[in-house]
């Protein structure tokens, strides 16, 4: 402790300029004159400016959500030795209003000791005009207390509204796309919990407004059908108040990118007389279709689909690999057009392609002639995936009404690349809503197909946050892959840096 005094002019000699000393009224030690006429040790023994400030206090911490209690009922997220935690500790000291706080900082303690020590420097005025400065340490004990949100979670009564997202389809690529859209737009911020379920996800909310906001987001990004219900939990007959639990069932269209669908006659007429057998090129806020034989495009809106729903007659798991034997590009003036035809894709090039099944290469010399929209990608010797409708077991009423001569034998869907090489050279990654979910082999294969779609479709990547994979940055690129410049890749300009908590803390210290 030290004192800061304002010396009166009477104690200074005008001739010499020196301060005349006096004796301490308690111990008799010569001191410079001050308002108390006491030395520092005697003043310390008589006055303590921190006597009304507690030297020990208690703060409460929830171990489940790792938040601290900010009285009366607010729980805040604070890291150790942060500005937020220091502010929270100082609010627990009521006597600080009687003194002036000059400095405050943490004294290091072992992280698991449940003790937080704060070193304070304060100024206080005593006995008229004397200002004292004192440094002391306050020890905070961290007690465990479960917050209200975690308490409801443990009681299995933590949600008031639930949003069930389901897709009744064989392929889950649309669900993977939805997951990335939710992460990009942070639509899951208000969720109390996310639970993976068979064919979809369950989102739990504390209020109906948050659940409705999630439903509105799903309706904006995907063609869905929503049904809601409520269940009575309790009823107070005196106040006429009801307590309900609300549930929203969201059904996503049962098709995904790469699915082959068959349209009814009325829908084909509405879509510009497109061919009944079409390929799903993209599923966004509407279903995008393309005719692989003419490159004609069509778009099915949400309401139009649920009025005339259709399902996939073939899914990507039924694709067969073919070998391209010859390719002849069909020029613009050679294309057949008709009045009322819908728009044609300019990203694709029509071509006559002759293929052979890769399993029958060298055994069967009969080539299959196919009209395909992949003329700009294929060349002799390439591998391509497609549907062999001659051997497909299709159980669809609209498909059975079609004449056999109007149904193509083979439809080519996309060019095939070496999956092993693409997986090894993939130096990027995606984030997930739940990282701890176990993934079986079927889901992993479908997820790899979704990653390949991202590499092949730049428009699809615009709605997805792609992060650099630091674990694969140093892997050398395979020379065989570099020999083929047509292999789709994601450039470094399209990738984001994966933010880690340690990096963020280091950035704050700079």
- Please, what's the b/e burial string for 212-249 (b: 16 or more CB within 10 A of its CB; e: otherwise)? bebbebbeebbbbeeeeeeeeeeeeeeeeeeeeebbbb
Structural domain including 376 reads: 259-416
Q: Do 209 and 172 reside in the same domain of the chain?
A: yes
Same domain, yes or no: 228 and 114: no
pLDDT at 369 > cutoff 90: yes
* pLDDT tens digits for range 230-271: 888 888 888 888 888 899 999 999 999 999 999 999 999 999
* C-alpha–C-alpha distance, residues 363 and 354, integer Å: 16
Centroid of chain to Cα 177: 12
Does 109 reside within a domain? Answer: yes
Query: How far apart (Å, rounded) are the C-alpha atoms in residues 353 and 383?
Result: 12
Q: Domain for residue 313, yes or no?
A: yes
pLDDT at residue number 498 = 63
200 lies in the same domain as 214: yes
Q: Same structural domain for residues 93 and 213?
A: no
Instruction: Say if residue 349 is in the same domain as residue 316.
Output: yes
Give pLDDT tens digits for 153-167.
676 666 889 999 999
204 shares its domain with 266:
no
* Residue 310 placed within a domain: yes
Task: Tell whether 275 and 388 lie within a shared domain.
Answer: yes
Indicate whether 142 belongs to any domain.
yes
Label residue 179 by pLDDT band (50, 70, 90): very high
269 and 406 assigned to the same domain: yes
pLDDT above 50 (res 75): yes
CA geometry: angle at 213 spanning 209 and 215, to 5°? Answer: 115
Among the ranges given (242-256, 280-294, 298-312, 492-506), the one the predictor scored with the smallest mean pLDDT = 492-506
Is the domain of 70 the same as that of 109? yes
74-76 and 277-283 as β-strands: parallel, antiparallel, unpaired?
Answer: unpaired
Final residue belonging to a domain, choices 124, 148, 172: 148
pLDDT at 344 over 80: yes
Name residues whose C-beta falls within 8 Å of residue 156's C-beta, 6 or more positions apart in sequence. none
429 and 443 assigned to the same domain: yes
Tell me if 122 sits within 8 A of 133, measured CB to CB.
yes
3-state helix, strand, coil in the chain (%, to 5): 25, 35, 40
Listed residues 218, 236, 252: the one ending a domain? 252
Tally of structural domains, the chain = 4
The pair of structure tokens assigned to 272 is: 């510009």
- Mean model confidence pLDDT for the chain: 84
80 shares its domain with 35? yes
Task: State whether 304 and 354 are in the same domain.
Answer: yes
Residue 153 maps to a domain: no
Is 66 a residue whose pLDDT tops 80?
Answer: yes
């Amino acid at each position: 402790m030290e004192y800061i005094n304002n010396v009166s002019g009477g104690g200074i000699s005008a001739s010499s300029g020196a301060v005349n000393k006096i004796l301490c009224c308690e111990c008799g030690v010569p001191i410079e004159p001050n308002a108390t006429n006491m030395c520092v040790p005697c003043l310390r023994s008589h006055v303590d400016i921190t006597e009304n400030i507690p030297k020990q206090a208690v703060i409460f911490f929830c171990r489940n959500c790792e938040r601290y209690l900010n009285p009366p009922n607010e729980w805040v997220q604070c890291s150790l030795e942060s500005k937020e935690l220091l502010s929270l500790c100082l609010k627990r000291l009521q006597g600080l209003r009687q003194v002036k706080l000059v400095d405050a900082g943490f004294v290091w303690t072992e992280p698991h000791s449940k003790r937080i020590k704060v070193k304070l420097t304060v100024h206080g005025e005593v006995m008229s005009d004397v200002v004292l400065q004192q440094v002391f340490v306050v020890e905070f004990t961290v007690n465990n207390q479960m917050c209200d949100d975690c308490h409801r979670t443990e009681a299995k009564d933590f949600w008031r509204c639930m949003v069930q997202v389901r897709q009744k389809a064989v392929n889950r690529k649309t669900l993977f796309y939805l997951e990335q859209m939710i992460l990009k737009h942070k639509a899951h911020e208000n969720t109390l919990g996310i639970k993976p379920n068979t064919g979809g996800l369950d989102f739990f909310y504390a209020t109906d407004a948050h659940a409705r906001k999630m439903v509105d987001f799903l309706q904006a990004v995907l063609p869905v059908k929503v049904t809601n219900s409520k269940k009575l939990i309790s009823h107070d007959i005196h106040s006429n108040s009801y307590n309900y639990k609300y549930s929203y069932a969201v059904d996503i269209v049962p098709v995904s990118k790469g699915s082959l669908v068959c349209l009814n006659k009325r829908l084909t007429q509405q879509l510009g007389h497109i061919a009944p057998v079409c390929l799903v090129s993209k599923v966004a806020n509407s279903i995008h279709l393309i005719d692989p034989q003419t490159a004609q495009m069509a778009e099915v809106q949400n309401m139009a689909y649920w009025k005339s729903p259709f399902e996939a007659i073939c899914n990507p798991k039924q694709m067969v690999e073919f070998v391209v034997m010859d390719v002849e590009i069909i020029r613009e003036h050679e294309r057949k057009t008709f009045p009322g035809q819908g728009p044609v894709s300019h990203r694709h090039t029509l071509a006559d392609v002759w293929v052979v099944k890769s399993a029958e290469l060298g055994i069967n010399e009969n080539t299959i002639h196919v009209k395909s929209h992949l003329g700009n990608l294929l060349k002799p010797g390439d591998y391509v995936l497609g549907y062999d409708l001659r051997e497909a077991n299709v159980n669809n009423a609209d498909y059975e009404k079609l004449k056999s001569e109007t149904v193509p034998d083979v439809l080519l869907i996309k060019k095939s690349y070496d999956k092993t090489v693409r997986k090894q050279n993939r130096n990027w990654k995606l984030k997930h809503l739940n990282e701890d979910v176990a993934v079986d082999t079927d889901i992993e294969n479908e997820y790899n197909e979704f990653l390949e779609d991202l590499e092949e479709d730049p428009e699809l990547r615009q709605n997805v946050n792609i992060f650099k994979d630091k674990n694969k940055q140093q892997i050398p690129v395979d020379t065989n892959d570099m020999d083929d410049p047509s292999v789709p890749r994601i450039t470094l300009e399209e990738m984001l840096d994966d933010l880690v908590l340690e990096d963020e803390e280091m950035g704050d210290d700079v």
